[in-house]
Each structure stands twice: as structure tokens, then as C-alpha cells.
Amino acid sequence: MRLSRITTLGGLFLTTALTITLAAPAAAQAATTPLGDANVGVYTGQADQKKPTIPADVKPAIAVSADQIAIQEPRKGGGLVIRLYHLAPGASPNAVLTGLRARGLAPAGVTAQAEADPMECTTSYGSAKYLCLKTGSHLWFNWRWNGFDDPQVYFRDFTPAAWPVRASVTEWNRSPGVDSYWTTGACPGGGRHCVPVRTVSGGPNGIVGETHMEVDSVAFFIDGTVSVDFNTYYSSSDDNRGTACHELGHALGLAHNGSTGSCLYNSAIAGPDPRLPHSTDISVLRYILYAD
């Protein structure tokens, strides 16, 4: 027999319940055991990583593929502004980019580059990648610890039930090194991070989802600047789970994955989108959180 605690965040209330389940065979238990730390959200005085400073002369960049448009611009006061647009199947990247330029969301006069350059870095963990600035040391983007044993990231869900954000947060919380929470209420303060997740009525603009983020001069995400939006025009019961998983992965610092088994796969596939992170995504997320 096993006791487990289920904690649900909603509004200003925290509800805790005990459930009793019969012990499963060892193999089955291993498959369902969360990979994250058992002591979630413990304040230990953990220091943040030591990272190089982003060069002051970083230029704007646009990376385009059939699946995504990624835009990087210098941030006033230091750091970077990054916008990632997940494209609908069949959408014309050039047409979408033209629309973004018309709205002032893409820098004028900047030539688009192949997606792998300059905002995606590789590791030895298969085909999974992380978001980065390709300086000499490959600066990676991630969340601060702010004294906790792991960075505390709350995804504040404003979406209707058609978008299974909660299920995707649960999957990403299996990663060691970061504690991800789902809430429909206000995010707590005290060094914890908050990422609003919303739906927008964007119409047939070719954009399924968007992740916006800003990083400071040493490439840590800046609180209040990271957000995720889904375009209701492209809502699909087959693909919403995969889209949610995809954009939340970006909000944690991951780029694309060449594996068709990953929700961060970088191309459209026949049938429903992959709904879950791949084991290599989890490995790379752990890598950028423990790199120093």
C-alpha cells in the first residue's frame, strides 16, 4: 500500500488530500514515478548559476523554418527579447513574417536565417536542443533559483478546457531541476516565477502558438516578461495537447527536437501532434539547469 499526496493550486486556496492505492509491480511503479525532487519548493539559499554577460553588440536576428519563426532583438537596458511563433501546417513562413513586420513585431532590414542559427544549441543528448545565444560560450536561457532548491515556475492558466495546459505542466514537472506548477489563481511571490498562458483570437494568421520571453544581461528569464498564447482559430482536439506541451517547453528554455516522439518536434507530421516531452528533452532541460 502506498500513500501519496495530491496538491491542487487554484485561486488563493491550497487543497491537500490523501489517497491510498494498492502497490503496483515494481516495473509499473517505475514508469509512473515522477522524476522531479520529492521536496518540492524547498528554500535552501541555493545560489544562481554563474554565467557570462551577453555582449552589448548583439544584433537582431530572425530564424525561419517551415514550423517556426524565431526573433531575437537586443533589450533596452541589457539582455534580449525573444519571440517564438509556432506556425500552422501549410502556413507560408514568408507571409507570416511579412505580417509580423507590418505589426512591428519583427525587425526591419534583417535577413532571415536557417532555424538552427542563431538561437538553438545542441548537446550530446540526441536531437534535443536548448534556446541560446551563440557567443563563444553558448549562453543558455533559463530561470533563476532565487534561493530555492530548484527554480519554481507557475503556469497561470487562463485558457478554456479545450487547451489541456494542466496535463502538459504535469509532464514537464517530471524533469529534475525545475518545479513546474499549474494554477488558475494568482501566482505566489517570494522568488517564484509566473508564466501566464492565454488564448487569443488571431484568426487565420498562420500562427498556432507564441512564446514571448525576455532575458537579462546574464541570460536569465525576467519575471513578468515570459508568456504563452494559443490562437483559438487553430484549436484542434487532436493537436491542442501537443501545442501546449510545445510552447511550455519553450517557456522553460528548450528549443526544438528532431525526434518525432517529442512535442518539441520541429516539423508537422501526419495525424495528431506528439503530446509529451521526449526523454532527451528532459535530459537537456536538466543540462541547462545544472550547467555552470
Q: Render each residue's pLDDT in the chain as its tens digit; 292 residues.
A: 222 333 333 333 333 333 323 333 233 222 223 334 445 688 888 899 888 899 888 899 999 988 899 999 999 999 999 999 999 999 999 999 999 999 999 998 999 987 655 688 888 888 999 999 887 667 899 999 999 999 999 999 999 999 999 999 999 998 888 999 999 999 999 999 999 999 999 999 999 999 999 999 999 999 999 999 999 999 998 899 999 999 999 999 999 999 999 999 987 666 677 789 999 999 999 989 886 5
pLDDT at 30: 28
What is the value of pTM for the model shown?
0.84
DSSP structural state of residue 233 = G
Cβ-contact 177, 285 below 8 angstroms = yes
pLDDT at 2: 28
Domains of the chain: 129-288 (3.40.390.10)
Cβ-contact 68, 210 below 8 angstroms = no
pLDDT at 61: 92
End-to-end CA distance of the chain: 41
When computed from its CA atoms, the radius of gyration of the chain, rounded to whole angstroms, is 19
pLDDT at 124: 87
Element (H, E) at 120: strand 120-122
Determine the Cα–Cα distance for residues 200 and 241; give it in Å rounded to an integer: 16
Q: What is 103-114 written as a DSSP string? A: TT-S-TT--EEE
Q: How far is CA 228 from CA 57, 219, 232, in A?
A: 28, 19, 13
Which residue in this structure is represented by grid cell 544549441? 121
pLDDT at 268: 66
Within 10 angstroms of residue 223's Cβ, the number of other Cβ atoms is 17
Which residue in this structure is represented by grid cell 513586420? 101
